[in-house]
């Protein structure tokens, strides 16, 4: 699992692996966050990095009492496989 950093001002979660930055971008909404993009450079793909970013964002939302709108296809697919996050969906 990679170390994920929450950039509150930038509305994103990031991690750096082997000199490459991966990110998850969200838009704050009333009582929710809309996750709009998850990007992992191909040089570090296939290592579960996107899943680490999504898990960090979903856990953050839960801790803050926020709902989640998965507007990124990767996040929508992740939540379908990980039903423990169903309660967060708007």
Encode pLDDT of 40-83 as tens digits: 999 999 999 999 999 999 999 999 999 999 999 999 999 999 99
Tell which phi-psi region holds residue 49, choosing left (phi > 0), alpha (psi between -120 and 50) or beta.
alpha
On whether the 5-88 domain is CATH 3.30.450.30, my answer is no
Residue 1 has pLDDT above 80, yes or no: no
Instruction: Give the model's confidence band at 2: pLDDT under 50 very low, under 70 low, under 90 confident, else very high.
Output: confident
Model pTM score = 0.95
């Amino acid at each position: 699992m990679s170390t994920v950093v929450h950039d509150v001002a930038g509305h994103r979660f990031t991690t750096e692996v082997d000199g490459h930055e991966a990110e998850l971008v969200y838009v704050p909404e009333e009582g929710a966050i809309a996750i709009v993009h998850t990007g992992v450079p191909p040089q570090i793909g296939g290592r579960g990095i996107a899943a680490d970013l999504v898990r960090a964002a979903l856990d953050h939302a839960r801790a803050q009492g926020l709902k989640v709108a998965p507007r990124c296809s990767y996040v929508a697919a992740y939540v379908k496989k990980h039903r423990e996050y169903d309660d967060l969906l708007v």
